[in-house]
């Protein structure tokens, strides 16, 4: 393995004072909205500038939901900021529910990116949204073999875009291909999109918690190495 970059990473998994029903992605969107309002002065929490315009970048703070727990993950400078905030006893409005954070399990590290000596296996914890309004209609007209090639091409592109967003330069040709594939309908900003779940291999060394594709700030495209595959459901 050949290291190429280390990026500060922090995640907080919240426990509430009451059990919440509701699933990903609806709870994730509510968590993002609640914290975006509380920390409105910090654009890392909501991806909008001072004039309210969307900031097109790899989201430095990402929101997730798993087994009833809300999760906030931060990269780079945003990881440091997450550690400085008073999370315990913070009150959040999630949809019609008002909850208090009673525990926040913290994970911190310098996440390693690198070039693998062999192909490495990964799992998508949540569906990746790698299609857009331009390439998806074309994908539907392809043969099964062409669709497989297109999925792998978009996977490679999504990995490279995500790494570039963290200022990680992959200096050799990146290889990635799905080994298992599940498709499902996902909704993002009231639009129906095709989500891809399953496993893939790559010559890139990717850290647990890295996310790819559209709406990664909303919990989509969450990746873990296969040997760290999480148990349970994202809902």
169 and 189 fall within a common domain? yes
101 and 190 fall within a common domain? no
- State yes or no: pLDDT of 50 exceeds 80: no
Query: Does residue 32 sit in helix, strand or coil?
Result: helix
Query: Does residue 169 sit in helix, strand or coil?
Result: coil
81 and 124 fall within a common domain? no
CATH of the domain at 142: 3.30.70.1900
- State yes or no: pLDDT of 223 exceeds 80: yes
* Cα separation, 22 vs 87, whole angstroms: 22
- State yes or no: pLDDT of 96 exceeds 60: yes
pLDDT of residue 26: 92
Count the domains in the chain. 2
* Cα separation, 87 vs 109, whole angstroms: 19
77 and 95 fall within a common domain? yes
195 and 142 fall within a common domain? yes
Summarised one tens digit per residue, pLDDT across range 172-196 is: 999 999 999 999 999 887 788 999 9
State how beta strands 176-188 and 191-205 pair: antiparallel
194 and 167 fall within a common domain? yes
Summarised one tens digit per residue, pLDDT across range 14-24 is: 999 999 988 89
Residue range of the domain that includes 101: 2-110
* Cα separation, 124 vs 127, whole angstroms: 6
129 and 201 fall within a common domain? yes
Q: What is the pTM of this model?
A: 0.93
pLDDT of residue 234: 57
Give first-to-last CA distance, the chain, whole Å. 35
105 and 120 fall within a common domain? no
**How many Å is the maximal CA-CA distance in the chain?**
54
CATH of the domain at 106: 3.30.70
88 and 130 fall within a common domain? no
Residue 234 lies in a domain: no
Residue 235 lies in a domain: no
Summarised one tens digit per residue, pLDDT across range 34-45 is: 999 999 999 999
Last residue of a domain, one of 64, 86, 110: 110
* Cα separation, 180 vs 1, whole angstroms: 24
71 and 173 fall within a common domain? no
Q: Which residue, 45, 130, 38, 137, is CA-closest to 90? A: 38
92 and 171 fall within a common domain? no
Q: Give the other-Cβ count within 10 Å of 144's Cβ.
A: 7
DSSP-based helix, strand, coil % in the chain, nearest 5: 25, 45, 35
């Amino acid at each position: 393995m050949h290291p190429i970059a280390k990026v500060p990473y922090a995640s907080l998994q919240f426990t509430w004072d009451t059990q919440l029903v509701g699933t990903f992605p609806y709870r994730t969107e509510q968590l993002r909205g609640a914290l975006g309002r509380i920390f409105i002065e910090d654009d890392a929490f909501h991806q909008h500038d001072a004039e309210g315009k969307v900031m097109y970048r790899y989201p430095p703070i990402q929101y997730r939901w798993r087994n009833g727990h809300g999760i906030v993950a931060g990269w780079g400078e945003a990881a440091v900021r997450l550690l400085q905030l008073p999370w315990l006893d913070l009150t959040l409005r999630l949809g019609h529910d008002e909850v208090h954070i009673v525990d926040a399990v913290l994970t911190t590290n310098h996440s390693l990116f690198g070039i693998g000596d062999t192909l490495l296996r990964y799992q998508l914890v949540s569906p990746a949204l790698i299609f857009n309004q331009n390439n998806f209609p074309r994908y539907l007209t392809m043969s099964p073999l062409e669709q497989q090639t297109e999925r792998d091409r978009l996977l490679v592109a999504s990995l490279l875009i995500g790494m570039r967003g963290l200022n990680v330069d992959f200096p050799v040709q990146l290889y990635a291909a799905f080994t298992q594939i599940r498709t499902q309908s996902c909704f993002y900003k009231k639009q129906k999109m095709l989500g891809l779940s399953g496993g893939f291999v790559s010559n890139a060394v990717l850290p647990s918690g890295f996310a790819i594709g559209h709406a990664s700030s909303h919990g989509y495209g969450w990746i873990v190495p296969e040997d760290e595959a999480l148990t349970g459901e994202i809902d």
